[in-house]
Chain A
Amino acid sequence: MALIECVELTHVYLKGTPMETEALRGITLSIDEGEFVGIIGPTGSGKSTLIQHFDALLRPTSGTVRVGGVDIGDPKTNLRAIRRQVGLVFQYPEHQLFEETIFEDVAFGPRNLGLPEDEVRQRVEDALRAVRVDPEKFGRRSPFSISGGEMRRVAIAGVLAMAPQVLVLDEPAAGLDPQGKVEILNRIRDLHRSRHITVILITHSMDEAAQLVRRLIVLNQGQVAMDGPVREVFARGEELTAMGLGVPAITELLQRLRRRGIPVRADAVTPDEAPRAIKEALAWS
């Protein structure tokens, strides 16, 4: 059974006013347990609107969204149960920190779940370690006294402490410096690999997508424009460029080389695969 399933999902903002805008138009997709999915699309394509449905923060104007088989549009649905399953990390999540200490902030979610205090402590420490923030060293410090990259990781820990089955992140690396970006993305990859959390990642960066995810969903003007393995999506470079997205620089280079008749393997897309593919093509050992 699919973990998240959208059927003909449409969402209209400010319906019935002059400012009415249709953000999603008939989205049908399903995401299975254990997947690592990237969602990519130009600004205004509906990415953020879509993921807010996964957490029942928005309800469909029409169509259905099922999370773990439960219809979020059904008025009888327990939204807390949905939000326990799905952890949503918004853009710039460090802007939502509010507690006096890092420990208390991360504990906010588990306490809302009504967990006993020793379990809360367990979860907070576990979540902080997962993002490589030492609970002993940092737990009692103010979340406003640490660097931007650390604040971001603490904020993500705040969602992880809810122990969600699915982690949905809206541009987790936005605005960080290169090292900070690498750090965050590596942590997310670890979570997927070692804890088998299903990850859905919105990104603007094709390079990030190429390195991290296996499946890519491309949104354009509120519709699913493409949905498939990363390699297949990147093979449609011209369509992506027409949407203002383009393909990663390395993919573009390999495609150009192939067009020039240099036999580079077609399935190489990441910076790690590229050097070997090029050397093979040049018969260089």
Chain B
Amino acid sequence: MTPLIEVRNLTHVYNAGTPEAVTALREVNLTIGRGDFVAIVGGNGSGKSTLAKHFNALLLPSEGEVIVDGLNTRDRSAVWEIRQRVGMVFQNPDNQLVATLVEEDVAFGPENLGLPPDEIARRVQDTLAAVGMLEHRRREPHLLSGGQKQRVAIAGILAMRPQCLVLDEATTMLDPQGQREVLETIARLNAQGVTVIHITHAMEEAVHCRRVIALADGRIALDGPPAEVFRRAEDLKSLRLVLPPVPALAHRLRRDGLPLGQSILTIDHLEDELARLARQRLAPRSGSGEASETADGAH
């Protein structure tokens, strides 16, 4: 099967040909598979939002090309098909809801697709239920919390039945409660088969993804499973990124000589590893002292 999104030699220059020309992306090559859960991380100015906007033809490449489900984003006639397939949730929850009622807003996308009224109503019902906002369907968006607004925005995208959901820093402006709500929602959607691309600068949000792509200065700097990417703490620092507290602590302890596994991402994992070490070191020495030599379980 063809990949969902294929990025070939993508370069993007803002204000090309003027003195203010800025190169935001440089020769990026990237393939995103169907059903994947990808985090794209990077600091300000790394080009991550520019990259995201190429996935649904909101921006077109200066050089190279982006192929979405076999459609080239340069093809003017394919634009609406591409946007139906790749939906996008933006950073500011206040600036992407169009209508004065939650259900009307969710209906906005399907209405643009020209679907029959019954079908739209069915989709609005289904997707609001999928993000847990059905009971708020008759409320006004400005009365909702940040997390609720973003869930409505997600429902509005889902109602177009896309194959891929791109979140362009959709958690940045939310409080921890709202962040949890959105992260739980997208994890659930991914489990149901929706491809999710989560753009963020919060590294802890990348922990539960399957793949992490770190951008720096318009280039892909790191690309791999979270455990592999987080292992390179020094590299991340130079990319304006900060390790989440737990992997950071694990990294520091390992640097100080504690024989901990390389792939510690979660608090449960670090707790278990430390408890194992403690058992070896603090238990009455009954002839099993040499066990600590094999403590580094991952290797």
Check B275 against A244 for contact (C-beta < 8 Å): no
Check B45 against A253 for contact (C-beta < 8 Å): no
Check B278 against A284 for contact (C-beta < 8 Å): no
A contact residues around B277 at 8 Å (CB): 282
Candidate in A176, A252, A275 with the most chain B CB atoms within 10 angstroms: A275
Contacting residue for B271 out of A176, A244, A253, CB 8 A = A253
Cβ of A112 < 8 Å from any Cβ of B?
no
B contact residues around A176 at 8 Å (CB): 44
Candidate in A43, A174, A182 with the most chain B CB atoms within 10 angstroms: A43
A contact residues around B178 at 8 Å (CB): 43
How many chain A residues touch B (CB < 8 A): the figure is 38
B189 to chain A, nearest CB (A): 23
B277 to chain A, nearest CB (A): 6
- Which chain B residues (211-269) contact chain A, with CB distance < 8 Å? 240-242, 244-246, 248-249, 252-253, 256-258, 267
Contacting residue for B245 out of A149, A250, A279, CB 8 A = A250
Cβ of B209 < 8 Å from any Cβ of A?
no
Check A284 against B44 for contact (C-beta < 8 Å): no
Q: B179-209 interface mask toward A, CB cutoff 8 Å, 1 = contact, 0 = none? A: 0000000000000000000000111000000
Check B256 against A275 for contact (C-beta < 8 Å): yes
Closest chain B residue, CB of each to CB of A180: B44
Q: B139-182 interface mask toward A, CB cutoff 8 Å, 1 = contact, 0 = none? A: 00000011000000000000000000000000011011110000
Check A253 against B44 for contact (C-beta < 8 Å): no
Check A43 against B177 for contact (C-beta < 8 Å): yes
A contact residues around B249 at 8 Å (CB): 250, 253, 271, 274-275
Contacting residue for A262 out of B202, B253, B282, CB 8 A = B282
Closest chain A residue, CB of each to CB of B270: A253
Check B176 against A204 for contact (C-beta < 8 Å): yes
Instruction: Evaluate whether A149 and B270 lie within 8 angstroms (CB atoms) in the complex, with A253-B246, A274-B249, A275-B256 already known.
Output: no
How many chain B residues touch A (CB < 8 A): the figure is 36
Contacting residue for A284 out of B173, B240, B258, CB 8 A = B258
Cβ of B129 < 8 Å from any Cβ of A?
no
Check A249 against B274 for contact (C-beta < 8 Å): no
- Which chain A residues (260-285) contact chain B, with CB distance < 8 Å? 260, 262, 271, 274-275, 278-279, 281-284
Per the bound structure, the CA–CA distance linking A205 and B202 in Å amounts to: 12
Check A256 against B281 for contact (C-beta < 8 Å): no
Check A279 against B44 for contact (C-beta < 8 Å): no
B contact residues around A174 at 8 Å (CB): 173
B185 to chain A, nearest CB (A): 17
A contact residues around B258 at 8 Å (CB): 279, 282, 284
Closest chain B residue, CB of each to CB of A43: B175
B contact residues around A148 at 8 Å (CB): 44
A contact residues around B173 at 8 Å (CB): 174-175
Per the bound structure, the CA–CA distance linking A278 and B282 in Å amounts to: 13
- Which chain A residues (158-190) contact chain B, with CB distance < 8 Å? 174-180, 182
Cβ of A207 < 8 Å from any Cβ of B?
yes
- Which chain A residues (86-137) contact chain B, with CB distance < 8 Å? none
B contact residues around A262 at 8 Å (CB): 274-275, 278, 282
Per the bound structure, the CA–CA distance linking A260 and B172 in Å amounts to: 35
Cβ of B43 < 8 Å from any Cβ of A?
yes
B contact residues around A246 at 8 Å (CB): 176
Cβ of A248 < 8 Å from any Cβ of B?
yes
Cβ of A257 < 8 Å from any Cβ of B?
yes
Candidate in A245, A253, A279 with the most chain B CB atoms within 10 angstroms: A253
A-B contact sample (15 more), CB < 8 A, given A148-B44, A282-B277: A178-B203, A178-B241, A179-B44, A179-B241, A207-B245, A253-B274, A256-B267, A257-B275, A262-B282, A274-B249, A275-B253, A275-B256, A278-B253, A282-B278, A283-B282
The 3 closest A-B pairs by CB, nearest first: A178-B242, A177-B201, A179-B240
Residues of chain B whose beta carbon lies under 8 Å from any beta carbon of chain A? 43-45, 145-146, 172-173, 175-178, 201-203, 240-242, 244-246, 248-249, 252-253, 256-258, 267, 270-271, 274-275, 277-278, 281-282
| 29 A-B residue pairings within 8 Å (CB atoms) | A43-B146, A43-B178, A44-B145, A147-B44, A149-B44, A177-B240, A178-B201, A178-B241, A180-B44, A204-B175, A204-B176, A205-B176, A248-B245, A250-B246, A252-B267, A253-B271, A253-B274, A256-B267, A257-B275, A275-B252, A275-B253, A278-B253, A278-B274, A279-B258, A281-B278, A282-B278, A283-B282, A284-B256, A284-B281
Residues of chain A whose beta carbon lies under 8 Å from any beta carbon of chain B? 42-44, 147-149, 174-180, 182, 204-205, 207, 244-246, 248-250, 252-253, 256-257, 260, 262, 271, 274-275, 278-279, 281-284
